[in-house]
Amino acid sequence: MTTRMNPLEAPGMKRRDLLQMIGLIAGGSALYNAMSTLGFAADSQYAGPLTLSGAPAGTKVVVLGAGWAGLIAALELRTAGYNVQVLDYNDRIGGRAWTLRGGDVYTELGGETQRCDFDPGLYLNPGPWRIPYHHRGVLAYAKRFNVTLEPFIMVNYNAYVHSSRHFGGKPKRFREIQADFHGHVSELLAKATHKEQLDAAVSREDQEKLLAALRSWGALDENYAYKANFDSAERRGYEVNKGGGLMPPPLPSTPIGLSDLLNSNLWMALNSGQIHQWQSTIFQPVGGMDMTPKAIGRELEKLITLNAQVKQIKQDEKGVTVSYVDSRTGKDPRQVRADWCVCTIPLSILSQLDINVGAPMSAGINAISYESAVKTGLQMKRRFWEEDEAIYGGITFTDLPIGQIAYPNTSYNKPGKGVLLGTFAFGDAALSLTGMSPRQRVQKALDYGAQIHPQYATEFENGISVGWHRVPGAMGCAAAWDSQLEAVHYDNLAQIDGRIVLAGDHISRGLSGWQEGAVLSSLDAITRLHKRIVNS
Amino acid sequence: MPEGVGAAAAGSYPALAKNPRLMPKAYPIARVLNGSRGMPAFKSELSDEQIAAVVAYVRTHFGNHYSDKISLEDVKALRQ
C-alpha cells in the first residue's frame, strides 16, 4: 500500500520546510493558519516566539504590573529596543502567579497578617496551579527560562468524590462512580437497542457495533448486564484485591445501584478531567507556580520598581504620566513619564484609579466584576492520604463548602510532611469564607475536611488561607465575563486607546484566570502597539 | 471587613459603617443587585426577600440608623 501524500506537500519537501517557507513569505499569522491546516497548532493561538524589532530610538514604554502580562510585555518590548520601566504594587514579582512558602508573611485586606509556617520544600499556590498542554505560550516561556515541569494529577481514580448527604456521608472512590455510571448507562442503552427502540436513529448494522462498544466501554457481561464480576471489578476495584501464595482469592466489589448513583449527584464530578482546559497532560512547575515569573523577573530586575502603588494614569498627545506612591506607606509620590503605557492592572483595581481613556474603554473597565475564590493550605505531620488511603496526587471533589481537597503532585511515597490544599472554593461558598478571618477559614477547612479525612484531627500542624477578594493587589480572582458583557465591552477594552493599551488575562476570550490568557493578551497587545508606534 | 470598616490597598472597599450613602435605599439595593466595578452582582444568587434583608441589615447596623422599611417592590423596581 502506498502512503497517501499530503496534497500540500511538494515532492522532496518536508512539512517543516514548507512551514518555514510560508513563514518567511507571509509572516506569522499565515504560518499559524498553515500550521492549523496541517493539524499542528489548532489547539493554541500562540504563534511562536515574538520577534519585534526596530523600536524608534529613545522610545519609552511604562508597563504597569509585574505579573505574567506585564513581564512578557517588558521582556519582549525591551528586546525590540524600547526603554522599559515596570511598576508593581506588590513587594514581589508574579502577581497572581504566586507561591506561599515557609517564612512568607501575607497581610490581607482587613489587616490580618498570616505567617506561613510550612516546612522547607512545601508550598501552596494560592492562584493558578496548573498548566494545560495546549497553553503553549506559558509552556514556551517556562522552557525558555529553564523552569522544570512535572505532571499535575487532574484525575486520580483512587481519590474521592463525596456527598455529605448520600451514602451516609462516606466518600466514594472516583473509579467506583465512573465505572458504575458508565456501566449502568451502557446497560440501559444496550437494552434499548435490543428492544429495537433505537431503530429510527441507528441502522441495524451500526447497532451491532454500538452493542460491542457498549459492552467494552461499560464492562458489561455477555448478556449486556452491568453487575459484580471480574470485568466490572477491573474498572471499579475489588472487594479483595489480587494477591499471591495462599492469600485469599480476589473478590469483585458490588456496584452502586443506578438510582442511588443518580440521586447522589456524584456523577457531576466525573467530567472535570475531560474538559479541554483540564485534560491530561497537565503540568505544574516544580517548586511552585511563581518559578517562571520569578525567572523572567530576574532578567528584568533593573527595570522593575516594586512597592509602587499607581494612583493616576494620565495621557496626553505626546505621552503618558503615571503617578505612584510607595504602597507600604502611601507616601513618597513619584511620576514616570513615558511615550506609551501597557497597563496590566486588574480591572477590579483599575476601575478605582484615575485614568483618562475614552468613554468606551472606561465603560468596559467599570463593567466587569471579579470572581471569588478561596484556597487554604494545610500542613500535615504525615502524608496520610498516601500511607492510609493510597491517594497519590489529584483532587477529591465534595459538595461541602471547601469544594475540593487536593493532594501534592510531588514527592510521592516519601516519608515526612505534606501540604494539602484543604479548600478550593468558588462562588457563594468562597464569598462566605472570604468574609471570615484567616483563622476561621483554616478552621472551616479542618472541620469540613475531617468529614472526608478523619486523620485531620491528629495530623494537622498549621495552615494559611487566601480569599482572593482580600488580596491587596488583586481584589478578586479573575474577571467575570459573560457573553453579553463580551459583546458590549471586549473589543473596546482590547483596542489601543491613545497611548494606552490594556493587557492581562482579563482581556482574553475564555482564558480569564489562566496564565495563558495573560500571555496571549500581552503578546497580542504589544504586537499591535509596536506596529502602531513604528507606523506613527 | 470586621465591623464594616472597609479597607484600602491598591484599590479600596468602602466602609459600610456610618456611611451616609446608605441613606437613600436605592443605592445599596442597586449595588447588591447589580454589583459595581469589581463587586459581583447578586441578582441571580439572591431573591428579592434576601436582598431586602441584606440591605435592611446594613442600613440599621454598623452605626447606620436608616430604619425605613425595604419592601420587595423597592428591590423589584431596581432589578435590571
Cell numbers found for residue A260: 442511588
User: Is the per-residue pLDDT at A19 higher than 60?
Assistant: no
Show residues of chain A in contact with B2, CB under 8 Å: 110, 437
pLDDT in tens, A305-335: 999 999 999 999 999 999 999 999 999 999 9
Residues of B in contact with A504 (CB under 8 A): none
The string of pLDDT tens digits covering residues A502-518 is: 999 999 999 999 999 99
Query: Is the domain covering A100-158+280-286+371-470 a CATH 3.90.660.10 domain?
Result: yes
Q: Strand order of the sheet with strand A373-380? A: A172-173, A160-162, A394-398, A404-407, A418-426, A373-380, A460-467
Superfamily of domain A60-94+291-365+482-535: FAD/NAD(P)-binding domain (3.50.50.60)
Instruction: For residue A479, list its beta bridge partners.
Output: A370
Of the two residues B38 and A430, the one the predictor is more confident about is A430
Task: Determine, for residues A480 and B9 on separate chains, whether the beta-carbon distance falls below 8 Å.
Answer: no
Q: How far apart are CA A209 and CA A156, in angstroms?
A: 30
Indicate the SS3 state at residue A276: helix
Q: What is the predicted pLDDT for the residue at B3?
A: 87
Contact B10 A309 (CB under 8 A): yes
Q: Is the pLDDT of residue A524 over 90?
A: yes
Q: How many CB atoms lie within 10 A of CB A479?
A: 24
The beta-carbon neighbor of A473 closest among B7, B9, B36 is: B9
- With 0-12 / 13-18 / 19 or more C-beta atoms within 10 angstroms meaning exposed / middle / buried, residue A83 is middle
Q: What's the alpha-carbon Rg for chain B, to the nearest Å?
A: 12
Let me know if residue B10 belongs to a domain: no
Task: Decide if A154 contacts A409 (C-beta within 8 A).
Answer: no
From the number of C-beta atoms within 10 Å of its C-beta (0-12, 13-18, 19+), residue A308 rates as buried
Q: How does pLDDT run across A461-516, given as a tens digit for each residue?
A: 999 999 999 999 999 999 999 999 999 999 999 999 999 999 999 999 999 999 99
* ipTM of the prediction: 0.91
In a domain, B7, yes or no: no
* 8-state DSSP, A370: B
Higher-confidence position of A16 and A433: A433
pLDDT of residue A10: 40
- Indicate the pTM of the whole model: 0.91
Strand order in the sheet with A60-64: A304-305, A83-87, A60-64, A340-343, A500-502
Q: Is B73 on the interface with A (CB under 8 A)?
A: no
pLDDT in tens, B16-40: 999 999 999 999 999 999 888 878 8
Give the residue on A whose Cα is nearest the Cα of B2.
Answer: A110
- Say if the Cβ atoms of A371 and B40 lie within 8 Å: yes
Q: In which band, very low, low, confident or very high, does the pLDDT at A30 lie, cut at 50, 70 and 90?
A: low
B66 is a domain residue: yes
- Under the banding of pLDDT at 50, 70 and 90, the label for residue A11 is very low
pLDDT at A1 over 50: no
Could you tell me if residue B53 is inside a domain? Answer: yes
- Residue A63 pLDDT greater than 80, yes or no: yes
**Considering CB atoms only, which of A111, A352, A371 is closest to B11?**
A352
Report the gap between the CA of A168 and the closest CA in chain B (Å). 29
Asked whether residue A38 carries a pLDDT value surpassing 70, the answer given is no
Instruction: Search chain B and give the residue with CA nearest A348.
Output: B38
CB–CB contact A327 B40 (8 Å): no
Predicted pLDDT of residue A35: 52
For residues A84 and A447, is the Cβ–Cβ distance under 8 A?
Answer: no
Distance CA A256, CA A322 (A): 63
B6: closest CA of chain A, how far (Å): 7
3-state secondary structure A63-124: EECCCHHHHHHHHHHHHHCCEEEEECCCCCCCCCCCCEECCCEEECCCCCEEECCCCCCCEE
Query: Per the domain annotation, does B1 fall within a domain?
Result: no
* pLDDT tens digit sequence for A169-195: 999 999 999 999 999 999 999 999 999
- The per-residue pLDDT for range A230-247, each reduced to its tens digit, is 999 999 999 999 999 999
Q: Report CB contact under 8 Å: B10, A475.
A: yes
Domain that holds residue B33: 18-78
Q: Is the pLDDT of residue A13 over 90?
A: no
Count of domains in chain B?
1
Say if the Cβ atoms of B7 and A111 lie within 8 Å.
yes
Q: Mean pLDDT across the stretch A376-404? A: 98
Candidate from B7, B9, B37 with C-beta closest to A351 = B37
Interchain contact, B38 vs A349, CB within 8 Å = yes
Q: What is the pLDDT of residue B1?
A: 85
Amino acid sitting at position A425? A
The pLDDT > 70 percentage for chain A reads 92
Q: How far apart are CA A56 and CA A120, in angstroms?
A: 47
Domain ranges of chain A: 1-42, 60-94+291-365+482-535, 100-158+280-286+371-470, 174-261
In CATH terms, is domain A174-261 a member of 1.10.10.10? no
Q: Annotate A131-155 with b (16+ C-beta within 10 A) or e (fewer).
A: bbebbbbbbbbbeebebebeebbbb
